[in-house]
Amino acid sequence: MIRKLVLQWGAVIGALALVLIAGKGDVQAGTFTPELDINIADDTPETSSEITVDFNLPKGNVQFSAVVAFIPSDWGIVKGEAIPIGAIVGKLQSVATLGLVGSACNQELPVDFDMMNASIDRGDTVSFNDTDKSDTDNTRDYAKDINPENGLYDSVDKYPDFIDRVFDTDNLQPIRRSAGMAIVAGIPVLLQFLVFEPGTHISDNLPDDESLGYPSVTLLQNAGDRDAEPEPGAITDFCSPLTSHNVSFAVSEDNPDTDADESGYPVQFSPQPGTYTFTAVAAGQRDPDGDGYENSLDTCPYDVNVGDPTITYDGDLELDGLDAACDPNPDPETGGTNSDEDGDGYLNRQDNCPLISNGEDTTNQHDEDRDGIGDECDKDANVADGELLIEQPTKDIIIGGGGPGGPPSDETCTFDGEMVCHRLGGVPQTNGDGNGDDDGGGSSAVIFIVIGVVATLVIVGGGAFMMMRRKSA
Ligand SMILES: [Ca+2]
Ligand SMILES: [Ca+2]
Ligand SMILES: [Ca+2]
Ligand SMILES: [Ca+2]
């Protein structure tokens, strides 16, 4: 434990050192060193056990643009249909670092989610928008409880339609989905984990190697939705550090918001004795000028900053949010202090073109290549600027003292007389368990689908700033 703390502090100090160097004008790529730790409460083979995942981004790192976690294919999981909708299957606690209303990144915000088993019926959907303008509550459909009114958010009972617009492949069917809601600054924030079959192509920028296991995708709000319309909001930056602590329960717990009894359903089963590798693939946001600040944080994405945007006044003496490297009026004595320099409705620190009007009456922040720089000021609006930093942390978990590995048996997967593990026919067992053999489970050409136990408060696709563009209450 002490060693781990030392390592973490080492990472923080390293990141700070880089920021200091970058502030002096050296061109370097942004730092991106996400940390993954996974622990299992009970290492007994073929039993239902709680899994804990910690996924953190140290201070000074560029923010995530995407995270997909992979669960070894030998892990056994109960299929989504075998657990009641609304049952609590886990919880996630996170601490995000935010910049509010154009200020530096100095707001720490703890956010907790109870994760509920949620519908995977893609034929029965709910919108992320407020489609019923006749009511007066201004609540968006995903955060309502009207259809049906049963104590569950409609985004638990129904499949959010925007999910299909996030991925680079059409018509992806998850095996399992869990959803949680937290109210942040009056905004209902939806967090989802979706688990897909091994080899599923999630994003053009991320690997889809079948041997990695089952991809578990984390979605925050409707980030990555190609049809989403941004809005000015109070959250103007989403910064590091970011911590997340995610617990996937051994068995489901009762949801206090419903009348039904949803407790005691197994959530997942450990495999046979062996060593299994969990993998996370994370992409960091781009930083074309190499000053250490990703485009969503950098108001001068093509110029090395004078100061550090996470520190108040640094490089921005008049506090308008524009770094002096590209601020047309950086002098507090003679310049204007304009927190919305181009007057387009987006504060400078939220605006993806802070010097060119691209507000809601024009292109509304459109960013074709999704690099965090709006089309209106992007040197090439069709080619993302800056390197995509990819990191792939792993964690080995030993079950039953180690062994040849393999999925749990049918008997293990039986609950209340039903075979509850999800199985796919005709799909060869993959070897993503890290034990270097062919799993020895040849007779069972059976795949056990694994829930999204690995997750973090991050997003696939368009970057963290979608969260900031929800209107504040
Ligand atoms: Ca810059
Ligand atoms: Ca300034
Ligand atoms: Ca603008
Ligand atoms: Ca762009």
Whether the pLDDT of residue 472 is over 60: the answer is no
Q: How far is the CA of 376 from the centre of ligand 2 (A)?
A: 21
pLDDT reported for residue 163: 94
Hey, where are the domains in the chain?
1-28+290-385, 31-286+388-393+448-469
Give yes or no for residue 470 having a pLDDT over 60.
Answer: no
Q: How far is the CA of 384 from the centre of ligand 4 (A)?
A: 6
Distance 141 CA to ligand 4 centre (A): 30
Structural contact between residues 388 and 370, judged by C-beta atoms closer than 8 angstroms: no
Say whether pLDDT at 249 is over 90. yes
CB 384, CB 371: distance < 8 Å: yes
Please report which ligand is nearest the Cα atom of 332.
2
Residue 462 alpha carbon to ligand 3 centre in Å = 18
User: What tens digit of pLDDT does each residue of 407-451 get?
Assistant: 999 999 999 999 888 775 433 333 333 333 333 322 222 222 222
For residue 224, what pLDDT is reported?
80
Upper half-sphere CA count for residue 251 (Cβ side, 13 Å)? 11
* Ligand nearest to the Cα of 385, by number: 4
> Taking 50 as the threshold, does the pLDDT of residue 190 lie above it?
yes
Question: 161-177 in b/e burial notation, b at 16+ Cβ within 10 A?
Answer: bbbbbbbeeeebebbbb
Where does the pLDDT of residue 158 fall: very low under 50, low under 70, confident under 90, or very high at 90 and above?
A: very high
For 14-51, give one letter per residue: b (16+ CB within 10 A) or e. ebeebbeebbeeeeebbbbbbbbebebeebebbbbbbb
3-state secondary structure of 282: strand
- Name the closest ligand to CA 363: 3
Residue 266: the pLDDT is: 96
Question: Would you give the end-to-end CA distance of the chain in angstroms?
Answer: 41
In angstroms, what is the span from residue 342 Cα to ligand 3's centroid?
6
> Is the predicted pLDDT of residue 12 greater than 60, yes or no?
no
- Whether this prediction's pTM lies above 0.85 is answered by no
Assess whether pLDDT exceeds 80 at residue 473: no
Which residues keep their CB under 5 angstroms from ion ligand 2?
A: 316, 320, 322, 327
Give the number of whichever ligand sits closest to the CA of residue 294.
1
pLDDT exceeds cutoff 70 at 103: yes
Q: Please report the pLDDT score of residue 424 as a whole number.
A: 52
Q: What is the DSSP string of 91-123?
A: EEEEEEEEEETT--S-EEEEEEEEEEE----TT
One-character DSSP codes across 178-243? EEEEEEETTEEEEEEEEE--TT----TTS---GGG-EEEEEEETTTT-TTPPP---SEEEEEEEEE
Q: Cα(385) to centroid of ligand 2, in Å? A: 23
The fraction of the chain above a pLDDT of 90, given in percent, is 56
pLDDT > 70: percent of the chain: 83
Q: What is the pLDDT of residue 281?
A: 87
pLDDT higher than 50, residue 262: yes
Sign of the CA dihedral 221, 224, 227, 229? positive
Separation between Cα atoms, residue 355 and residue 54, nearest integer Å: 39
* Cβ 385 vs Cβ 373: under 8 Å: yes
Average pLDDT, stretch 395-408?
96
The closest ligand to the CA of 330 turns out to be: 2
User: What average pLDDT does the chain have?
Assistant: 82
Residue, of 80 and 469, whose pLDDT is higher: 80
Q: Which of 4-8, 54-58, 188-192, 316-320 has the lowest mean pLDDT?
A: 4-8
309 CA distance to ligand 1 centroid (A)?
A: 9
Query: Would the pLDDT of 256 be above 60?
Result: yes
State which amino acid sits at residue 93. Q
Mean pLDDT lowest for which of 57-61, 146-150, 285-289, 466-470?
466-470
Mean pLDDT for 82-89 is 97
Cis? peptide before 328, omega within 30° of 0: no
pLDDT band at 65; cut points 50, 70, 90: confident
Strand partners, 244: 55, 94
CA distance 146 to 132: 11
Q: What is the mean pLDDT of residues 347-367?
A: 95
Of the listed ligands, the closest to the CA of 382 is 4
Residue 167 CA, ligand 1 centroid: distance in Å: 29
Least distant ligand from the CA of 346 = 3
Q: Considering every ligand atom, which ligand is closest to the CA of 381?
A: 4
DSSP state of 74: T
Cα-to-centroid distance, 326 and ligand 3 (Å): 14
Rounded to whole angstroms, the Cα distance separating 354 from 349 reads 7
Between the CA of 388 and the centroid of ligand 2 the distance, in Å, is: 28
Q: How many Å lie between the centroid of ligand 2 and the Cα of residue 465?
A: 21
Provide the 10 A C-beta neighbour count for residue 146: 12
Question: Helix (H, G, I), strand (E, B), or coil: what is residue 163?
Answer: helix
Query: Which residues, in sequence order, are CB contacts of 22 under 8 Å at separation 6+?
Result: 28, 290, 291, 292, 293, 304, 305, 308
pLDDT digit string, tens, across residues 221-248: 888 888 888 888 888 888 999 999 999 9
Distance CA(151)–CA(277), nearest Å, equals: 38
The mean pLDDT value for 375-395 works out to 94
Q: Which ligand number lies closest to the CA of residue 285?
A: 4
Over range 3-31, report the average pLDDT. Answer: 41
Environment of ion ligand 3 (residues, CB < 5 A)? 342, 344, 351, 353, 358
pLDDT band at 204 (very low <50, low <70, confident <90, very high): confident
Q: Identify the residue with better confidence: 466 or 381.
A: 381
Report residue 456's pLDDT band, with 50, 70 and 90 as the boundaries. Answer: very low
> What is the 101 CA–ligand 1 centroid distance (Å)?
20
Backbone angles phi, psi at 56, to 5 degrees: -130, 155
For residue 75, how far is its CA from the centre of ligand 2 (angstroms)?
52
